[in-house]
Amino acid sequence: MKKNKYLIIGALSLMIGLTGCSSDDSGDVVDPTDDVVIDPDPDPNPDPQPLNLSDYDNGSRVMMQAFYWDVEPRFEWWTNLTEKVPGWADAGIDRLWVPVATKGQSGGYSMGYDVSDYFDFGNYEQHGTTETRFGSREELETFIATAHDNDVEVIADIVINHNSGGGLEYNPYRDKETYTLFDEEHGNASGMFNRNYEDFYPNSVSNYDPGSLFYAETNLDHNRERVQNWLWKEDNSVAKYYKNVMGFDGWRFDYVLGFEPWVVKAWLDEVGGFSVAELWDGRASVLEEYVEETGSGAFDFAAFYKLEESLDRYEDLTNLQGEMLWQTYPEKAITFTANHDTEKDTNEDNNIKRSNKMKAYSFILTHPGYPSVFYLDYEDEAFKEEIKNLINIHNSLATGELEVLYADNDEYIMKRSGTGTNPGLILYISISNSTKRRSVSSNWNNVTLMDYSGNTTYNPTSDENGMVQIEVPANSYAIYSITK
């Protein structure tokens, strides 16, 4: 597959012709070359009129992870989501990734990842409950219908390797009893896709598990024709039932390290739909190879870790020029700043600090890729309006070729060139404790700019060659574009 590389230009190659200023604690602008305090540039237009961003719809939208770990209240989640769908759609969200929708071994407490019955959406009494943690099947169907009425797709979380909650049976391939019996009396009340030890590794066809790190005894063997038929091939398979009966529009494949890439490709070849894989690996090259093998999108863990390293771990924004999936496969890279796993992970290297969340969102919502926002962030009153504004900027001005104009340990400046009549934007991120100003080359000649994030009221005017001095507040970001 041919790769479309975005041009990423480092700081040193662009220093010629650029000048920089920063401020001391007094707020004065300082020329860093001689530490002489100079007067700030006068504001030539103290009251510029912003563009109407709705006039610049670039066709891009944003996905939301519409859950978090152990959502509350139990049995009401589908109803909660149904009520929020219209507002999310108005904000520019076009897909909702929902949790595993079927019954797990933990019953009413299950988040679905201990999958037991692939066809129990909250309508069979088993594992101590009829409803799933999220509600009834009828409530799920109402939610999906409401999403579709608002032109929003619903993405199903699919767990197709490890199973849980079956009954004990003697397993001759392990020479002991294993919980591999799934039927109407043992964790599979629907009676669809009943299974036993022959459907899991090892069996008469396969002697070993090729990659599962847990649930080893109940890891499905996708090489068996029967398993393939039930998962994606037959008319009543999991994939086709989810799509044609329940109305799901796509797939989030859980823990793809536990099975081979050909499985995802075969699934997508059979049923199609939007797809994103959870391949938890921070190496862009690994993610690229997976996209090429499967045709699926993938969460851009490379970008996630570059953001964590830059903003938290090393406090060095030059890391934002490292290799990330969106650079080579922007249409397949689902960028994110948090998910249900990272937010509950006690390893601080696996999550981005709350104090840096909005800077991280400013990055993914201005760069190429398909951004995903996290439910708890969006619904946080401290973040909500800011994220909504960033989504608005993403869906309007974040378009065109990308060029990194400047990067050092505490500053990062990026330009999107725009397309046609769309002016594009310039993103300026700083982790400095002082206000920063820097002169950069824009695509706009003799025009007043403003920060569409609202973080600064500094309104510079570009010169006849497009050079302009922009400002970013301390430990913040600004997103510049033209005014009327």
Strands 297-299 and 370-374: unpaired
Catalytic residue among 278, 289, 323, 343: 278
Query: Does 463 carry a binding-site annotation?
Result: no
**Taking a C-beta distance cutoff of 8 angstroms, is the pair 268, 295 a contact?**
yes
Residue position matching structure tokens 């504004």: 389
Helix, strand or coil, per DSSP, at residue 464: coil
Query: Does 459 carry a binding-site annotation?
Result: no
**Taking a C-beta distance cutoff of 8 angstroms, is the pair 117, 106 a contact?**
no
Query: Does 410 carry a binding-site annotation?
Result: yes
Q: What string of DSSP letters covers 6-23?
A: PP---SGGG-TT--EEEE
CB under 8 Å to 300, separation ≥6 — which residues? Answer: 287, 324, 325, 326, 333, 334, 335, 336, 369
Catalytic residue flag (residue 141): no
Catalytic residue flag (residue 278): yes
Structure tokens at 365: 């919502």
Name which of 374, 301, 334 is nearest 60 in CA terms. 334
Q: Kindly report the backbone phi and psi dihedral angles of residue 463, in degrees, each rounded to the nearest multiple of 5, phi listed first.
A: -90, -175
**Taking a C-beta distance cutoff of 8 angstroms, is the pair 467, 475 a contact?**
no
Print burial letters for 61-95: b (CB count within 10 Å at least 16), e (below 16). bbbbbbbbeebeeebebbbbbbebbeebbebbbbb
Which residue type sits at 55? D
Q: What string of DSSP letters covers 284-318?
A: HHHHHHHHHHH--EEE-HHHHHHHHIIIIIS--GG
Catalytic residue among 199, 217, 249, 254: 254
By annotation, the residues acting in catalysis are 254, 278
Binding-site residue set for Ca(2+) = 161, 221, 410
